[in-house]
Structure 1
Amino acid sequence: MKGSKPLIYWLILLFFAVILSLEYATPAEYVFGYFYIVPIVLASYKLTKKATLRLTLIGVGLTLSNLVFPQLEIETLAITVNRLIAVLALWVTGSLAVRIRQYEEEINRQQAQLQAQQQLAAVREDFISTLTHDLKTPLLGAIETIKGIKAGLFGEITPQHQKVLEMMLRSHRSSLELVQTLLDVYRNDIEGIQLQCEPVNLASIAAEVIATLTNLAATRQVYVVLSCGDSDFRTHFWVNGDVLQLQRVFSNLIINGINHSPRGGRVEVKLETEGDFQLVKILDNGQGITPNELPHLFERFYQGTGDRQASGTGLGLYLTRQIITAHGGKIWAANRSPMGAIFIFCLKAIPLPNNDLN
């Protein structure tokens, strides 16, 4: 120890001096080694683990040495056993004291880690608020301005201008969707997904999402079709779910299929019932998925390095898995034969609602 010694240091020395005096000033049958427990416990609370062990060893050594010093003769077996019991008590006390000190340090470390996590959560909340205000608001303003220009509110627009403005509008909408996805991913990680569940028809949701993606599919020259297995009765595909969140699942998976399909390709959305579950399969005829990519497809920010066309930020599939997991379902991917990929998710089926008229 450097510099001035703390008070506890001198107090421990005083205890040792008093106990040592009693130990060596009395016959060997009087065992005062038990009192070394006091400075050992004091050291465990105020000094380091190394210092505590050192004091324990000193106490053990002094207790044993009193068998032959200062009498300079070996005592009886009973006295020896008594001393060994005292040594055992000292060693157990020292070991427990060190163990307790380790537990306290671990608790303090975990408390510090918890505090750091709470601070990180607060930083994330600030980050989300900043994104909402500084990114979404100007994007929404730009989108509305472009719509006004397209509508001719600021003068006549030629067909060529219309094409440019439509391209700008798509770009701003994509940026807005990206911002919203980032916000949702961070919010879901912190708070979990808050679902507004009700009986929903997966076939109806799929049809609505496909209709909204008609222009994107046409631009990519990809055909998107919906099939309901061996049945034409769409009332067979009812689940308990959040309509808006499930729309995002269909949208993410269908867009993923469109982006990874060649021009003139085909994306099929197939709905099936298997036992107590409703299955949704999104099939494309792109380049497929490499074996190394399959385990990582649904990880955050993961983008494949294979021959499939890379697009986006790697958040779409991650968010999709979050939503399906929150619904109590499962999602996975596989390769098709001879070419292409298939994404499948399943949700628990529910009986046909009484008020359904389909």
Structure 2
Amino acid sequence: MSDTREVISDARSVVVKIGSSAITSLVGGLDRGRLDRLADAIESRMQAGSSVVVVSSGAVGAGLAPLGLTTRPRDLATKQAAASVGQLALAHAWGTSFARYDRAVGQVLLTADDIARRIQHRNAQRTLDRLRSLGAVPVVNENDTVATAELRFGDNDRLAALVAHLVGAEALILLSDVDGLYDGDPRKGAAHFIPEVTSPEDLDGVVAGSGGALGTGGMASKLSAARLAADSGVPVLLAAASDAARALTTADVGTAFSPRPDRLSARLFWVRHAADTHGALHLDEGAVRAVVDRRRSLLPAGITGTSGNFHAGDVVALVAPDGRTVARGVVAYDVTELDFMIGFSTRSLPADLHRPVVHADDLVRI
């Protein structure tokens, strides 16, 4: 067994993402038998001493049959209507399944705004931590009934990666209808299975497709989520839901993604992956070298301009002269203050403006 698989197998805190296709069908809605088997595997892992957070897709799929729909809706209003019906059924199904073990289930519905805004981010973290400390299973889903096109995670794979870092998970397990990563679509001919991803070079030549009839993800979103989580220091296992029991015990199935050696702090992960940017600081080449290569704080002398309407404490993008975003960080000044400081050395400014525009501790390279 590889070191990564051993870490996943031994992890005491796990996030398990369940794909729509693993628990729903277009004809019958929720498949209680498959959902029960997944709950069995999760309960076994919890009995072995791990805490588990479930990120469950399937709300829209569960709402199709009750509403007489035969295909996944494309318009937002119908999709949200299906989610409002299906979310109730989904939560009840998970609750009923875990009730066989006298295990409580807590439903946690999140929007991208809940992750992007620091206060909601911390509140969600505290709720999930408390549910786990009380021995309950948090079942997380995107709040499809209120999320708009502008305020969406995009898919539950990305949500699962964000939740894994949010709760400090030691492993992320993505379960769906695929048994791992291939360098192409195995349904369309010869494709080679990739059992381990230890570096970005292992993904050279990999072609990933989009979602199927019931879901919004597909291999492209799973690969993106796995890389996001691994980049933040969380090892990932991508496996078939039918192999859930092995994925949650020996971890000897699917594709394992090795994490980066140093895990980003919760704050820097939020800055890099979760927070909305409220504007941009445009840097000269010297400032880019200082920030990117030497990991220095950003000073006003290296800024050539600003864009957007931001306030002190907001996350902003740091943009190189060629237009590339090279970093993100928490800005220390309002844009109205900063506009008078651009290009000046710190020594020439009043004493109350001597702090960096973006401190190195609040800055993360892209």
Normalising by structure 2, report the TM-score: 0.20
Higher strand proportion (structure 1 or 2): 2
Looking at both structures, which has the greater relative contact order when contacts are Cα pairs under 8 Å and sequence separation is at least 6? 2
Answer 1 or 2: which has greater helix percent: 1
Structure (1 or 2) with the larger CA radius of gyration: 1
The TM-score with structure 1 as length reference comes to 0.21
